[in-house]
Amino acid sequence: MGVTARLEMGQGDRTAAVRGFLRRLLDSQAVGAVLVAQPLPRKRLRMPTLVTDPERLEGADPFSPCFAVNGARLAARLSRKPMGVRWAAVMRPCEVRAFIEMVKLKQAGTDEAVLISFDCPGAYPTREFLRTGGAETAGDTERFLRQAFSGEAPDPGLSPACRACEHPVPPFTDVHIGLLGGEAGTFLQIEGRTAAGEALIAAAALPPAEPLPSREAALGALIARRAAARDELFARTEAAVATIEGAAAYFADCLLCTNCRVACPVCTCRECVFATDVFEHDPFHVLRLAERGGLLKLPSDTLFFHLTRLAHMSTACVGCGQCSNACPQGIAVMEVFRTVARRTQQAFGYEAGRSLEDPPPLAVFREEEFTEAVGIPAAPAGGGGPGRTPGSEGGRG
Amino acid sequence: MTDFEPILIAFVCNWCTYTAADLAGTSRLRVPKNVRLIRVMCTGMVDPQYILKALLHGADGVLVSGCHPGDCHYLNGNFKARRRIKLLQEILPCFGIESERLRLTWIGASDGIRFAEVLHELVARLREIGPNRAAAVTAVY
């Protein structure tokens, strides 16, 4: 399944070429709206915009190194109920992967939304982008793409999440725009991976093309570089939090502002338990806690907050890094979440954002599985087994 | 270490393990005094956050115990609980908390003897592992 088409590049500017493609989608009425990031008057950040007028695509700048918000959250809201038209969402691979998790958690729908992803060059930390002013024009974005894909000065200034991201291409998407290899070529490779994606390519009347060999090679090198950075990140982070002291020290500056939870695209609870008084202890209880060691740091429960979040969403974590962007204290939140998420996802043979078919691990079960999790291990002779003694079947008839 | 008395929080389901605990009591079986029972309607309603709260607030171990497979009063709550326990057993060791501190068992309503055995075994195991320092450490960080 799938078609590969070519998108001509005018003056070697990939952003301009893709704007043309999006314009054709609106002009041909293949879609009634496009969700795409662009700079806004008096704002330096590129924010997602919902564009219905083809003329207003002039500023679309989806490949800039600004990743202010994970658009999956916004796309999920737009897709929860019918909009009345088919619409396209131009998103980074991590946004697409988060959107897929939202669909499976019944927080988003695929009836009208068509996902358009692209070879992701990565992005700067938001604070860094604001500090430097970032790319001001589309020409700057093209320069950034060339630098990011060159492989010579590997991933300069990219956020830690992007440097360690082995998914410059999402495993599942409707349309994928191949930006890599565009340096040399005169066209971009555009793939329609699903029926909805093929329909968009047909509507834009793009001619078919053979896959670009130069892109395949460049992509392989990019993924290898990022995977190496990822493994280094895992090793470093595992060591940092491997003891309870290390873990507590890692999050010691946490103020419990919960910005990381708000920024997280897959933290889906409408009312988070940390926004309720479930764990709001009575004052005398807090006093008792303080009396245990004579001192209690406040707010307490900071590590508890992060562990609870890991228990709730780590199987859906896509490692987009918005938690780190959101932290006012500069805690490297993403590193811990990605490291633990890899382990929890592996435990269930799951990979966030891989496909619409794999059910979320905590939504299903099998009768025969994880038997090692049941019973008391290393019990003295005679006590072993999975916690079952003769006659124990008699419980309820 | 010989003076160490582990604190064990046990989330037990109303239909099987709590009934077994009741039976252990009426049968005058000796159970360790280390355990604090928390009766829940089903192990399937034990959100991981409650287990984490216990382990980070002074519990040395947590036991979640419910009906045998196929016996769940709500059909499959115990299977869902098993996935959540598995999840936590992956997360806890990342932060230096031994996964053995969290156990899941199936103890049927007529298993009063088994209930007492499990508690003795688990408390003995927790004595070997030693105190959980998470509460003391997180209090000052």
pLDDT digits (tens, 9 = 90+) for B65-100: 999 999 999 999 999 999 999 999 999 999 999 999
pLDDT exceeds 60 at position A391: no
Domain end position, chosen among A173, A208, A230: A230
Same domain, A226 and A255: no
Does A392 sit within 8 Å of B107, measured CB to CB? yes
pLDDT exceeds 70 at position A396: no
pLDDT exceeds 70 at position A104: yes
Question: Which residue blocks in chain A are alpha helix, DSSP H?
Answer: 14-27, 71-79, 93-104, 126-132, 138-150, 160-163, 195-203, 213-240, 244-250, 259-263, 283-293, 302-313, 322-326, 333-347
Mutate to test the interface with A, among B52, B95, B99, B104 (most CBs of A within 10 A): B95
| Residue in this structure with the two tokens 């109303």, named with its chain if needed | B14
Same domain, A341 and A222: no
- DSSP states of A71-85: HHHHHHHHHSS--SS
Same domain, A212 and A301: no
Average pLDDT of span A64-71: 94
Find, in chain A, the residue whose alpha carbon is nearest to that of B124: A379
**For residue A226, is it within any domain?**
yes
Burial label, B2 (beta-carbon count in 10 A; 0-12, 13-18, 19+)? exposed
Q: Which band of pLDDT confidence, cut at 50, 70 and 90, is reported for residue A211?
A: confident
CB B95 within 8 A of CB A307: yes
Question: Which residue blocks in chain B are alpha helix, DSSP H?
Answer: 17-26, 48-56, 77-91, 112-129, 134-140
Both tokens assigned to B83: 């996935």
**For residue A160, is it within any domain?**
yes
Same domain, A73 and A207: yes
B40 at interface of A, judged by CB pairs closer than 8 A: no
Q: Which band of pLDDT confidence, cut at 50, 70 and 90, is reported for residue A378?
A: low
pLDDT exceeds 50 at position A29: yes
Tell which B residues from 106 to 125 touch A, by Cβ distance under 8 Å.
Answer: 106-111, 113-114, 117-118, 121-122, 124-125
Same domain, A289 and A349: yes
Indicate the residue of B16, B86, B141 with minimum beta-carbon distance to A395. B16
Indicate the residue of B89, B134, B141 with minimum beta-carbon distance to A249. B141
Q: Which band of pLDDT confidence, cut at 50, 70 and 90, is reported for residue A393?
A: very low
Average pLDDT, chain A: 90
Domain end position, chosen among A230, A250, A272: A230
What domain range is A315 assigned to?
Answer: 236-363
pLDDT exceeds 70 at position A127: yes
| Confidence (pLDDT) at A35 | 98
Average pLDDT of span A320-333: 98
**For residue A374, is it within any domain?**
no
In CATH, what is the architecture of B8-140? 3-Layer(aba) Sandwich (3.40)
**For residue A154, is it within any domain?**
yes
Residues of B in contact with A339 (CB under 8 A): 94
| Confidence (pLDDT) at A213 | 84
pLDDT exceeds 80 at position A192: yes
Same domain, A27 and A150: yes
pLDDT digits (tens, 9 = 90+) for A36-57: 999 988 778 899 999 999 999 9
Find, in chain A, the residue whose alpha carbon is nearest to that of B77: A365
Phi-psi region of B130 (alpha: psi -120 to 50; beta: other; left: phi over 0): left
Task: Give me the average pLDDT of each 10-residue run along chain B (141 residues).
Answer: 88 97 97 97 97 97 97 96 98 97 97 97 96 94 85
User: What count of CB pairs under 8 Å joins A to B?
Assistant: 185
Q: Which band of pLDDT confidence, cut at 50, 70 and 90, is reported for residue A152?
A: low
| Confidence (pLDDT) at A134 | 60
Same domain, A251 and A153: no
Domain end position, chosen among A230, A264, A291: A230
Measure CA A26 to chain center.
27
Domain map (residue ranges) of chain B:
8-140
pLDDT exceeds 80 at position A182: no
**For residue A370, is it within any domain?**
no
B98 at interface of A, judged by CB pairs closer than 8 A: no
Same domain, A57 and A180: yes
Same domain, A193 and A302: no
| Confidence (pLDDT) at A268 | 86
DSSP state of A298: S
pLDDT exceeds 80 at position A337: yes
Same domain, A305 and A178: no
Q: Which band of pLDDT confidence, cut at 50, 70 and 90, is reported for residue A381?
A: very low
Does B96 sit within 8 Å of A241, measured CB to CB? yes
Same domain, A139 and A166: yes
Average pLDDT of span A177-202: 89
Domain count, chain A: 2
Same domain, A25 and A65: yes
Average pLDDT of span A93-116: 97
Residues of B in contact with A247 (CB under 8 A): 94-96
